[in-house]
């Protein structure tokens, strides 16, 4: 990312503060759920019986720092084997699409997510970490689905 993007990101944090929201469930579960920009879905999942069946649920709003953090957290927990990606896509950022592209194609020599349509799909995680992520999990594409009964 360039310095202007970093400044814009910091300004956005001040103008549009978004809390980090991650909810922990059953630590023995092998399943994680990512609700993209669907905060209501995230809250619905966090308050449901589903939390007894999944290890963690959270949201993903950016195609760079957010995906970096997701990859780091997944590979830190070798117990996780399945990542369900659901909820509404982040307008303009296409984080779900970027995550799918990362899973399928990885990163290029400039750490750009291959085949991503996002405006700034550049990661700081290493190629080795991306490969661990790709091998460790099965990614389930439910992008666009916001009904909990259909996600389950």
Give all domains of the chain, ordered by start, each with its CATH number: 19-151 (3.40.50)
- Phi then psi dihedrals of residue 143, to 5 deg: -55, 135
In this predicted structure, the answer to whether residue 129 has a pLDDT above a threshold of 70 is yes
CA angle in degrees (0–180, nearest 5) for 40-69-78? 100
SS (H, E, C) the chain: CCHHHHHHHHHHHHHCCCCCCEEECCCCCCEEEECCCCHHHHHHHHCCHHHHCCCEEECCCCCCHHHHHHHHHHHHCCCCCEEEEEECCCCCCCHHHHHHHHHHHCECCCCEECCCCCCCCECCCCHHHHHHHHHHCEEEEEECCCCHHHHC
In this predicted structure, the answer to whether residue 16 has a pLDDT above a threshold of 60 is no
* pLDDT, mean over the chain: 89
The confidence score (pLDDT) of residue 92 equals: 85
- In percent, how much of the chain has pLDDT > 70? 87
Confidence of residue 31 (pLDDT cuts 50, 70, 90): very high
- pLDDT digit string, tens, across residues 111-127: 999 999 999 999 999 99
CA max distance for the chain: 44
- pLDDT digit string, tens, across residues 76-124: 999 999 999 999 998 888 999 999 999 999 999 999 999 999 999 999 9
The confidence score (pLDDT) of residue 18 equals: 47
């Amino acid at each position: 990312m360039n310095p202007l993007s970093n400044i814009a990101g910091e300004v956005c944090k001040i103008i549009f503060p978004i809390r980090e929201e991650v909810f922990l469930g059953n630590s023995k579960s092998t399943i994680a759920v990512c609700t993209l920009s669907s905060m209501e879905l995230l809250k619905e999942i966090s308050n449901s019986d589903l939390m007894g069946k999944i290890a963690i649920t959270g949201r993903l709003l950016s195609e760079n720092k957010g995906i970096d953090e997701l990859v780091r957290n997944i590979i830190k927990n070798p117990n996780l084997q399945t990542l369900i990606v659901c909820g509404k896509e982040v307008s303009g950022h296409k984080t779900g699409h970027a995550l799918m592209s990362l899973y399928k194609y990885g990163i290029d020599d400039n750490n750009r997510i291959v085949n991503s349509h996002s405006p700034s799909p550049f990661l700081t995680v290493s190629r080795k970490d991306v490969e661990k992520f790709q091998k460790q999990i099965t990614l389930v594409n439910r992008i666009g689905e916001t009904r909990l009964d259909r996600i389950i």
